[in-house]
Amino acid sequence: MWRALYTFLWLLVLPLAVSRLLWRGRSEPGYRADIGERLGRYRDVAHFQGAWWIHAVSVGEIRASEPIVRALLARDEHALVLLTQMTPTGRRTALELFAAVPSRVRVAYLPYDLPWLVGAFMRRFRPRAAILMETEIWPNLLQQAKKEGIPTILANARLSRKSADRYALLGPFARDTFGCLGAVAAQSEADARRLEHLGAPPATVTGSVKFDVQVPDSAATLAAHFQRLIGSRRVILAASTRDGEESGILDAFLARATEDDLLVVVPRHPQRFDAVAALIEARGARLQRRSSDQAVAMETRAWLGDSMGEMFAYFCAAQVTLIGGSWKPLGGQNLIEACAVGTPVIVGPHTFNFDEITRLAITSGAAIRAPDVAAGFEAAIELLGDAGRREAMSAAGRQFAAQHRGATLRTLAVLDATLAGNG
C-alpha cells in the first residue's frame, strides 16, 4: 500500500517537477537541457551497457564519488562507468572531472523514481552493480534493482539522527526500502547503526571516501593567481554558505575585521550568486567578483566567489575558513578539503550531517567549533593574529586528512564481496 501511495504521489508531482525545470531553465538553461533523460530517454546506450553504475545526487556527492570512479577505471582497463546525478551543477561537475575519459564515463541524469522509468533505465543499460552515494535512497529504484537482479551498495553512507527519525515514521515502508539494499559501506559506526535499525543489511564501516579525494594539481596554480589578485590582504573564507547565513557572516565581519582583512564568500549554490552580491552591496560594503578576474582594490571588503569547481583554490588562498551550512540548522558541509590543504577551520553549532567527521577534526586540532557567527569571527580574528596557532592547525589538518584515507579500497572490497555473494 505504501509503495503504491508513494508512486501515486510521484505521478501527481511529475507535471510540477517538469514545469519547474522549464521555469528555472528560463534563467538557468542547464535545467532545460536533457529533460528527456529524467523521463527515461537516453541516447547512445549500447556502449555503456554492463557499466558500473554510480548515482550521486549533486556536486558534493559527485566529488565524493571521484575516487571510486577512478579506482574502478584503474583496476580494469576495460571498465566503464555510468555516472548519474539529479542537478545541472552536479552534471557540470561530473563532465569537468572526467572530461579526459568521455569514452569510459557516461554522465547522465537519473530518471524520476517511477517504477516503469527506473525499470526501463536498468533494462537498457544493464549495469553490473548500482553504487548509490551517501543518502540516495529511492524506494522504486531499489525495488526495481532487486527485481532486475542488480546488486546495490549504499557507499559512503551517512544518516543523521534527524533523518533516521523521519524514516522511522514510515515504519514497514522504510524497512522494505532499506531491506532492498545489497550492502552498506558506512562512514561511521553511528551511521551503520541507524541504517541497520531501519532495515538495511549489516553495514561495514569504511570511513569517508572524501578523504581519498586528491587535491588537483591545478589548485595550487589557481590559488597563486588568487593571491596575486588579492595581494597582501588577510583572507577569511566563508565556504559553501547557504541562504540565511551570509547576512550574519557579513555583519560579523564588518564589525570585527580591519581594512587589511578580506572576506571571500563562496555560496553553496550558483543560482544565489547575484542575490548574495546584492546583499553585500546593500550593507554598503564594496564588492568585487571572482569572475571579473581583476586585482582586488584595498577599498574592497568582500570578494564573491562566483565560480564553480575552484573550492580547493579558495581553501589554499585563505588563512582561515568558516564552513557554511553550520551557522543555521542546515547540517554543515564537508570540511575535509579545507583540512587536506592545511587551512584552519571554524564550524558553527549545526553539523549534524557531518557529526563524526567534524568531531574527529576538532579532536585532532584541525578545527574549532563556535556557538554562533559572532564567536566564529572572534576566533577567526584571533587566528589571523596568531601565526603559530594557525601553523599548528594547518599541520593538524593535513595529518587528520592523511590518516583517514583508504575508504575507497575498503568500499571496493564491500562491492566485490557483494558481487561474489550474488554470483
Domains: count for the chain = 2
- Quick: pLDDT tens for 162-196: 999 999 999 999 999 999 999 999 999 999 999 99
Residue 125 lies in a domain: yes
* Summary mean pLDDT of the chain: 94
- Quick: pLDDT tens for 21-75: 888 888 788 888 888 999 999 988 999 999 999 999 989 899 999 999 999 999 9
Whether 241 has a pLDDT exceeding 90, the answer reads: yes
Given the residues 37, 61, 136, 246, the one annotated as active site: 61
Whether 261 has a pLDDT exceeding 60, the answer reads: yes
- 94 and 39 in one domain? yes
- Quick: pLDDT tens for 119-168: 999 999 999 999 999 999 999 999 999 999 999 999 999 999 999 999 99
Residue 259 lies in a domain: yes
- 185 and 136 in one domain? yes
* Segments forming the whole domain that contains residue 112: 20-207+406-422
pTM of the model: 0.90
Share of the chain above pLDDT 70, in %: 100
Q: Is 37 a catalytic residue?
A: no
- 379 and 412 in one domain? no
pLDDT at position 43: 87
- Quick: pLDDT tens for 265-301: 999 988 899 999 999 999 999 999 999 999 999 999 9
As a whole number of angstroms, the distance between CA 8 and CA 2 comes to 10
Whether 423 has a pLDDT exceeding 60, the answer reads: no
Q: What is the largest CA-CA distance in the chain?
A: 66
Residue 224 lies in a domain: yes
CATH code, domain carrying 232:
3.40.50.2000
Whether 240 has a pLDDT exceeding 60, the answer reads: yes
- 334 and 292 in one domain? yes
pLDDT at position 26: 82
- 195 and 60 in one domain? yes
pLDDT at position 243: 94
Residue 192 lies in a domain: yes
Residue 127 lies in a domain: yes
- Quick: pLDDT tens for 209-234: 999 998 888 888 999 999 999 999 99
- Quick: pLDDT tens for 102-115: 999 999 999 999 99
As a whole number of angstroms, the distance between CA 264 and CA 234 comes to 10
Better-predicted residue by pLDDT, 76 or 33: 76
Residue 322 lies in a domain: yes
- 202 and 251 in one domain? no
- 375 and 271 in one domain? yes
Residue 2 lies in a domain: no
Structure-block grid coordinates of residue 362: 576538532
- 85 and 29 in one domain? yes
- 302 and 184 in one domain? no
Whether 87 has a pLDDT exceeding 70, the answer reads: yes
- 71 and 60 in one domain? yes
pLDDT at position 128: 97
Pairing of strands 152-157, 129-133: parallel
- 221 and 200 in one domain? no
- Quick: pLDDT tens for 346-386: 999 999 989 999 999 999 999 999 999 999 999 999 999 99
Residue 47 lies in a domain: yes
- 129 and 63 in one domain? yes
CATH code, domain carrying 151:
3.40.50.11720
pLDDT at position 3: 85
